Amino acid sequence: MDIKGAAAVVTGGASGLGEAVVRRLVGAGGAAVILDRDASKGKALADELGDNTVFVQADVTDADQVQAAVDAAGALGPLRVAVNCAGIGMASRTVGRDGQAHDLDVFRTVISINLIGTFNVLRLAAAAMSKTDALADGERGVIVNTASIAAFDGQIGQVAYSASKAGIVGLTLPAARDLSPVGVRVVTIAPGIFDTPLLGLMPEDQRQALGDGVPFPKRLGYPADFAALVEEIVRNDYLNGETIRLDGALRMAPR
């Protein structure tokens, strides 16, 4: 699919992986709606990138707010791309060292934002895409989700996060099958350890140690690496129903 002239909605688009995706798509001639809760960063990025970029403040778990973002993308051009980058992580053991059980509300919150939020965007974006004109090959759009290698190699304290990301992996193929009649593809990326604002808060020696643990290349992933894969997924219409690990061959140890 050609990105030029197509519109996209990118959740978590104001920073980190999402910001890199927005920059990549707009740089390739597309238009983008930045869906994020951070109004300051979202507006600043939209102002920087110009007329083909709009910021919509929204919570991915809110159907009305997400629908507004999808509608805004459709006003920029035919909605062809949706990229789910919004997510959170909260570390807690199933039973803590103090004998306390995992907080159920924390588990619900992580599942709600990471898994239910992803599906909320997927379903609404897919519905909008299904109403657009098909391209010559019958394709109407592509949805790219963000899981994590924690879906496969969850570490101690990641039970909620790993469950939420494993759910995204699990819905990828059936969603792709569901949407095949309307020509919408679904692909998931499972990133390893990436140099995002969250890791930027860590001391440099700890960041270096994390990068050294990656088999090759021995570094943290760059948001640009993620954005480049998103672009390839959009362009390569035979990628569908698959989860792609983007991790430098890293396999996470228990801790």
Cβ proximity of 248 and 215 under 8 Å: yes
Task: Single out the catalytic residue among 55, 161, 194, 226.
Answer: 161
CA distance 170 to 164: 10
Q: Give Cα 36 distance to the centre of its chain.
A: 12
CA distance 158 to 42: 29
CA distance 7 to 82: 9
CA distance 87 to 46: 21
The angle, 0 to 180 degrees and rounded to 10, between the axes of the packed helices 16-27 and 39-49 is 20
Polymer length of the chain: 255
3-state secondary structure of 155: coil
* Residue 29 token pair: 């001639």
Q: Is 161 one of the annotated active-site residues of the chain?
A: yes
Q: Kindly list the catalytic residues.
A: 161
